[in-house]
Amino acid sequence: MTSPKPPSRPDRVSLWRYIRLFRQDILSAQPARLYRAWMAEFRTPFFRSYLCNDPALVDRVLKERPDDFPKSDRIRAGLEPLLGNSVFVTNGEVWKRQRRIIDPAFEGGRLRDTFPAMWAAGQAAVARLAAASDSASGPGSEGGPVEIEEQMSHAAADVIFRTLFSIPIEHEVATRVFHEFRVYQRTQPILNLAAFLPVPRWFPRFYRRGTKRSAAVIRGLITGLCRDRAGEIAAGTAPDDLATKIMRTADPETGERFGTGEMVDQVAIFFLAGHETSASALAWALYLLAIYPDVQEKVAAEAAALGDTPEFAALSRLKYTRDVFREVLRLYPPVPMMVRENTCPEDFRGRDVAPGAQVVLSQWHLHRHERIWPKPDDFDPDRWGREENRACARDAYMPFSAGPRVCTGAGFAMVEGVLLLAMLARAFRFRPVEGPQPVPVAHLTVRAKDGIPLRVERR
């Protein structure tokens, strides 16, 4: 199976065109030769960047010496209005303290507790998609077209609010956060001026007015939810969801808990990471099912065994669906690249790298690397069961990062993605629409340039 490839990339890109493209869409700026390179150096007048595709370098940065390669402030600057001092952007002891408080809420046993809320969100997603399909084409017709990215954004946001605060997306505050976040996405590039110029932390970042306004509205709404929950915890009436678990957890080393302000920072990244990334992955998954109907039918058949009120253990039977979702994350990793900064002099493949360089680790390139993966652009869920791919999966697959900074919600995302994909494939048949294929672009996550319209037909 050969999956749709991203548009061809130029082999050479001038600095100023690179900056312009990078601000608009990370993927469009990447030369084609980077899908074959072990490393590449990129020079600007103010700093140097090193793209590392060599698995040994990736391991050094993420697993062996992560403290020597903190997250880059150049990326943090673009996200600060919304994320504040969240675990996604902090480093050092602050980050370690935050993870000690957050991680227990996502451990295996507690993750099982979120399953009923995920199932309810999946049922709601099926109902919304049925209504959208009927509205687009009328009952009994071939179905669609329906804008799938929008539907999956709605579904993923519903999962976050149900598991975090025990409220559905239809709740007034949840609805306002969801719609305001859609506004925020349209105004906020992942990088701003600080990504390209050597400006100090105190220097104004010149955020767009709409970006600052939307971030302030979202944070204000989340603040209200966190304050209300703190009151419920004090009164002994709080539901046992993820927000309660996190706010009740004390740092085992200091005994400190998150205050309202710090909890707002964490909820902001839970919503961004837990909703935006899952929506991206699910939308691409349904697109691939649409263009590979044989895969779609296998997923639907496997999902038919779920039953109407499954237990968490039923997920273990969705082995093929899990491989499909893993393959989607390989081809369309929601977060296409990460940026670290070296604090020590380094030797990268015989090249001296001075402290302060930007170290780019690109899931987008690594997952499609021509010298690592057999037929890297093929959509092949069966590859995950073949011996030849075990080394690739170990050395060059990191949709949730790797090492100590691996996404704390990785297990949550895999349960959510596999479950919702199975529920949707069981309820509907998805077919492509005529016209150009979706083009992957990246802003906050990998999305389709003009959306993903699909025809949706009830089974």
pLDDT score, position 114: 94
Per-residue pLDDT of 224-281, as tens digits, reads 999 999 999 999 999 999 999 999 999 999 999 999 999 999 998 888 888 889 999 9
- Candidates 165, 182, 183; CA nearest to 174 is 165
Phi, psi of 409 (to 5 degrees): -95, 20
pLDDT score, position 84: 85
pLDDT score, position 191: 47
Does 193 have pLDDT greater than 60? no
| Domains of the chain, first to last | 56-332+409-458 (1.10.630.10)
- Alpha-carbon distances, residue 197 vs 22, 77, 354 (angstroms): 14, 12, 18
Per-residue pLDDT of 337-379, as tens digits, reads 888 999 999 999 999 999 999 898 999 999 999 999 999 999 9
The number of C-alpha atoms within 13 Å of 394 and in the hemisphere containing its C-beta is 6
Does 8 have pLDDT greater than 60? no
Q: Which helix (H) or strand (E) holds 348?
A: strand 346-348
Per-residue pLDDT of 428-457, as tens digits, reads 999 999 988 888 887 778 888 889 999 999
Q: Of the ranges 8-12, 44-48, 229-233, which one carries the lowest mean pLDDT score?
A: 8-12
Residue % of the chain over a pLDDT of 70: 85
Average pLDDT of the residues in 8-22: 57
Helix, coil or strand: residue 8: coil
Chain mean pLDDT for the chain: 87
For residues 222 and 272, what is the distance between their CA atoms, to the nearest angstrom?
12
pLDDT score, position 196: 44
Let me know the angle formed at the C-alpha of 322 by 306 and 389, rounded to the nearest 5 degrees. Answer: 150
Phi, psi of 342 (to 5 degrees): -80, 140
